[in-house]
Structure 1
Amino acid sequence: MATAEAATGRTITTSIPARLDRLPWSRWHWSIVIGLGTVWILDGLEVTVVGNIAGRLSEPGSGLSISSAQVTGLAAALYVAGACIGALFWGRLTDRYGRKNLFMITLAVYLAATALTAVSFAPWWFLVFRFLTGFGIGGEYAAINSAIDELIPAYHRGRVDLIINGSFWVGAVGGSLLSVVALNTDFLPANVGWRLTFALGVVLGLVILLVRRSVPESPRWLLIHGREREAEEIVASIEQRIESQTGKPLPVPDRELVIHQRGSVSFLEIARTVFSDYRRRAVLGFSLFIGQAFLYNAITFGFGAILTKFFDIPAGHTGYYFAVIAVGNFFGPLLLGKLFDTVGRRVMISGTYILSGVLLFGTAWLFGRGSLNAVTLTACWCVVLFFASAGASSAYLTVSEIFPMETRAMSIAFFYALGTAAGGISGPLLFADLTETGKVGDTVLAFQIGAALMCAAGLVAAFLAVKAERRSLEDIATPLSAA
């Protein structure tokens, strides 16, 4: 992997960012969505399967001597910890060596760790490779969101980013239904079914890896790193393909950018840029990530345990309920995504966060009164997460577009890691303890904490969210290399 340091130091004038933003939606853009976005389906499959098979893994004959709390608590926390560390590690390399190099490597790491999880023979092995699976997926968050935002036109960026991040829940639906089959001992032995679910994820990941090979490097990244000839060739090829498909000439780009090419950006410069020059945006990023991370990583990890403990739902049937919730989660970004580009970021981000928090408070109140059963609780969660999912997806969109391009991957990594560490590591551990007590009040408390953090993040967004809809990335945050 070369950084092209020797070619930096020159000043160039380019219209490439404007040329990318004025492109109409095309089959080429769909290839980007499929090549990069479908990995979240795997992530959703992975997380959901682990949550749903927790009961089976703790049973005699599973092939592992591990408790349900270790799976939903310790293993979940290790997965998130790996993702946080991986985001920081791979995020730095993504800004230095390019988007494409890293989104190929991180997917390979993710696949290898998942495959090794499938052959777990002892708790320590399972826990180690849950951590390494998270380590790979953390790098995916930084590399993929950077590449998507830099390749998708400004007019479509919000809805595309939300839908791609929301596709996690398509995997969650698949994982839920797959776990139903995997946990049915009429079809598969108790020590085989859960292994095959991980193996299927590997197969799907290999297909994505092959598709991803055709996705180009970000022309914006190439420009800054002294490789403008490659950037020009990529953009010219895209333009030629789209003109051939539409039969119409593309409009003339309306602006140019003067760039002083440079090498990598130091950690000190990244920190100064994000936390000093853009401190209000940093507060916004932290708030959004902490709110959504705690709600999702703390509460949804324990949903299966709630069904089994409070409503006596068999472990093999929890997948049906979670599939319904996952559908609601996916339809949130799918149906609301366009509004983030039309109504605007500030209204939609604050609105989805606050509304989901208020609805979660209502769910906690009903649960505490004993007014809910397994079906009505699932319905409540489906409504809550319809809005929460759109808000959570917008957190990734926000931090990937409001900071300068040279810091983009590292900014995503910073906020994902620190926000997720606050809610995603402590959350599953705390929530596992609360649900293990079997006390209604403890579960209500967990719901209320998640709701309060979502509402607080929504209030922060109401004051600090950036009006980024339909604007070029270079307009939202001037590149550090702009001359």
Structure 2
Amino acid sequence: MAAARSASGRTITTDISARLDRLPWSRWHWSIVIGLGTVWILDGMEVTIVGNIAGRLAEPGSGLDISSGQITGIAAALYVTGACAGALFWGRLTDIYGRKKLFLITLAVYLGATALTAISFDTWWFFLFRFLTGFGIGGEYAAINSAIDELIPAKYRGRVDLIINGSYWLGAVGGALLSIVALNTSIFPADVGWRLTFALGAVLALVVLLVRRHVPESPRWLLIHGREEEAERIVRDAEKTIEAEKGEPLPPAEGEMVIHQRTRTTFTEIARTMFARYRKRSVLGFSLFIGQAFLYNAITFGYGAILTEFFDVPSGNTGYYFAVIAIGNFLGPLLLGRLFDTVGRRIMISGTYLVSGVLLFATAWLFDQGSLSATTMTACWCAVLFFASAGASSAYLTVSEIFPMETRAMAIAFFYAIGTAAGGISGPLIFAELTGSGKVPDAVLAFQIGAALMCAAGIVAAFLAVKAEGRSLEDIATPLSAAEAKEEPAATRLT
């Protein structure tokens, strides 16, 4: 059938999105989760290792003339700055050139920068490649979350997205335990152990890169960008694979959409979509990212100093405590994720934010009263972060599903950059000073700031969160390229 033409290009009718959403869970979906989700493990390991080896790097004989404050302050801020810049830079390219191309490139950038960090010979080199490592990771957030949401069926999208984002904390557990080994000078010399941790991260990234090559491009992105035949082939192959696995035919897909194909979306369209058409959703996204960024900075930038300063925990043992905290972080999305698809987004997002904020207020009060030990403080942090981790992961889920297809990666990048810049750049500078001062009131204030912003975000979510559970992405936010089928009777039909 001849294709209809619009100002933007060809116009097609397709049911591919409906076919993707009606797929049952299968090995095909597991391959996507493994290929895309494992990078958060690397990110968690990377950030945790740097925090835990800061003391050793600052000691004579480490091979670098650097102070602990420079590592937890300047290096941390540079890593986050790189992540924010990378998110915006790669996010724009992800919407233009596709999810797959960019999630391969960004992982390669991360791999190379991590490997070069391992051979740091001077402070400036270490700082430079911490920035570039963050630059690669920032791009991963936009490319990966876009691809996951566009490939995973609507029925499972919430729990899968939360668990994948929460897998960051599996890496944090590994990083905490790995740092214990790296800091043991009876095993590795002081100038070798920390380098091996970065080298290991690069090796693991290479393995993930090899696996990721087999993850398909998003058929939804392909449809809009004039590559409908490739989109059809990917979906048809997935359907055949899943039918063979299940031993029965798939149910028919319900729903078609007319798409006016285009090559790119302008910044004007993106701005109009986010700040005029969906401004309430933008307020929601901004609130969620700000809240979780400050809460995590309030705890993670001070946990080591608090344990050593107030509870006399040896610096070499703080990794054990952090491993416990990280496990609590992972269990939150793992155990609560399903409820985001069943109970619903609004209740679960607002609930996790509010509960974690209230629990952190309670922790601050108990700490101020001198009622906590190192063990009970860690238990309190675990309780807070069990809920906060699910809430923080839902922030990424939220901004990746409530904006139109053409702006998805850029929306993720924008809110990640804004929220992370506010909490992740100012956070290290504010919270490192408060929690490292050795004064109980300062640490209490840090906790209260994080708790207050988390509660505020929970209140915003209670009013503005979108009912997205079980709904297709196109139903939650109609693509900018979409039109009603009756308006385009001559459109090319894909079945």
TM-score interval, normalised by the smaller of the two chains: over 0.9
The answer for the alignment partner of 1:416 in structure 2 is: 416
Shift in Å, 1:7? 12
Q: Is the 8 A contact 1:13 1:258 kept in 2?
A: yes
Q: Is the 8 A contact 1:87 1:141 kept in 2?
A: yes
Q: Is the 8 A contact 1:41 1:169 kept in 2?
A: yes
What is the CA–CA distance in structure 2 between the aligned matches of 1:359 and 1:52, rounded to whole Å? Answer: 25
Q: Is the 8 A contact 2:346 2:462 kept in 1?
A: yes
Q: Which is worse superposed, 137-146 or 367-376?
A: 367-376
Q: Which is worse superposed, 14-23 or 306-315?
A: 306-315
What is the CA–CA distance in structure 2 between the aligned matches of 1:127 and 1:433, rounded to whole Å? Answer: 20
Q: Which runs of 5+ in 1 are unaligned?
A: 1-5
What is the CA–CA distance in structure 1 between the aligned matches of 2:113 and 2:101, rounded to whole Å? Answer: 19
Query: Does 1:471 find its partner at 2:451?
Result: no
Shift in Å, 1:55? 1.1
What is the CA–CA distance in structure 2 between the aligned matches of 1:81 and 1:294, rounded to whole Å? Answer: 15
Q: Is the 8 A contact 2:166 2:393 kept in 1?
A: yes
The answer for the alignment partner of 2:344 in structure 1 is: 344
The answer for the alignment partner of 2:445 in structure 1 is: 445
The AA in structure 1 aligned to 2:455 is C
The answer for the alignment partner of 2:163 in structure 1 is: 163
1:102–1:379 distance in 2 versus 1, CA, 3 Å? same
What is the CA–CA distance in structure 2 between the aligned matches of 1:7 and 1:166, rounded to whole Å? Answer: 42
Question: 2:217 is paired with a residue of what secondary structure?
Answer: coil
TM-score where L is the length of structure 2: 0.95
The answer for the alignment partner of 1:89 in structure 2 is: 89
Percentage of identical aligned residues: 81
1:26-175 matches, within 5 Å, as 26-175=26-175
The answer for the alignment partner of 2:376 in structure 1 is: 376
The answer for the alignment partner of 1:215 in structure 2 is: 215
Shift in Å, 1:299? 2.6
Q: Is the 8 A contact 1:285 1:395 kept in 2?
A: yes
The answer for the alignment partner of 2:490 in structure 1 is: none
The answer for the alignment partner of 1:334 in structure 2 is: 334
What is the CA–CA distance in structure 2 between the aligned matches of 1:116 and 1:248, rounded to whole Å? Answer: 50
What is the CA–CA distance in structure 2 between the aligned matches of 1:65 and 1:431, rounded to whole Å? Answer: 24
The answer for the alignment partner of 2:492 in structure 1 is: none
Deviations 1:344-381 (A, max 9, x none): 00000000000000000011111111111211111100
Q: Is the 8 A contact 2:301 2:435 kept in 1?
A: no
Q: Which runs of 5+ in 2 are unaligned?
A: 1-5, 484-495
Query: Does 1:299 find its partner at 2:324?
Result: no
Query: Does 1:198 find its partner at 2:198?
Result: yes
The answer for the alignment partner of 1:228 in structure 2 is: 228
The answer for the alignment partner of 1:185 in structure 2 is: 185
Q: Which is worse superposed, 402-411 or 178-187?
A: 178-187
1:345-360 matches, within 5 Å, as 345-360=345-360
Query: Does 1:396 find its partner at 2:379?
Result: no
What is the CA–CA distance in structure 2 between the aligned matches of 1:367 and 1:243, rounded to whole Å? Answer: 56
Deviations 1:371-395 (A, max 9, x none): 1121111110001000000000000
The AA in structure 2 aligned to 1:361 is F
1:302–1:116 distance in 2 versus 1, CA, 3 Å? farther
Q: Is the 8 A contact 1:265 1:406 kept in 2?
A: yes
Query: Does 1:436 find its partner at 2:432?
Result: no
What is the CA–CA distance in structure 1 between the aligned matches of 2:330 and 2:60, rounded to whole Å? Answer: 35
1:8-27 matches, within 5 Å, as 9-27=9-27
The AA in structure 2 aligned to 1:438 is G
Q: Is the 8 A contact 2:302 2:436 kept in 1?
A: no
Question: 1:11 is paired with a residue of what secondary structure?
Answer: strand
- Considering only aligned residues, what root-mean-square deviation do their CA atoms show, in Å? 1.1
What is the CA–CA distance in structure 2 between the aligned matches of 1:382 and 1:263, rounded to whole Å? Answer: 46
Shift in Å, 1:48? 0.5
What is the CA–CA distance in structure 2 between the aligned matches of 1:7 and 1:85, rounded to whole Å? Answer: 33
The AA in structure 2 aligned to 1:346 is R
Q: Is the 8 A contact 2:37 2:167 kept in 1?
A: yes
Q: Is the 8 A contact 1:7 1:227 kept in 2?
A: no
The answer for the alignment partner of 1:3 in structure 2 is: none
Question: 1:10 is paired with a residue of what secondary structure?
Answer: strand
Shift in Å, 1:71? 1.0
The answer for the alignment partner of 1:387 in structure 2 is: 387
Shift in Å, 1:201? 0.6
Deviations 1:430-459 (A, max 9, x none): 111112321111111101000000000000
What is the CA–CA distance in structure 1 between the aligned matches of 2:396 and 2:464, rounded to whole Å? Answer: 16
TM-score where L is the length of structure 1: 0.98
The answer for the alignment partner of 2:491 in structure 1 is: none
Question: 1:223 is paired with a residue of what secondary structure?
Answer: helix
Deviations 1:145-180 (A, max 9, x none): 000000000000000000000000000000000011
The AA in structure 2 aligned to 1:188 is F
Shift in Å, 1:302? 2.6
Shift in Å, 1:303? 1.5
Shift in Å, 1:231? 0.3
Deviations 1:299-358 (A, max 9, x none): 313322221222222221111000000000000000000000000000000000000000
What is the CA–CA distance in structure 2 between the aligned matches of 1:19 and 1:279, rounded to whole Å? Answer: 31
What is the CA–CA distance in structure 1 between the aligned matches of 2:366 and 2:236, rounded to whole Å? Answer: 58
Question: 1:262 is paired with a residue of what secondary structure?
Answer: coil
Q: Which is worse superposed, 91-100 or 294-303?
A: 294-303
Q: Is the 8 A contact 1:8 1:226 kept in 2?
A: no
The AA in structure 2 aligned to 1:39 is V
Deviations 1:8-54 (A, max 9, x none): 61110000000000000000100000000000000000011011111
The AA in structure 2 aligned to 1:382 is C
What is the CA–CA distance in structure 2 between the aligned matches of 1:466 and 1:128, rounded to whole Å? Answer: 40
Shift in Å, 1:240? 0.4
The answer for the alignment partner of 1:457 in structure 2 is: 457
What is the CA–CA distance in structure 2 between the aligned matches of 1:198 and 1:8, rounded to whole Å? Answer: 46
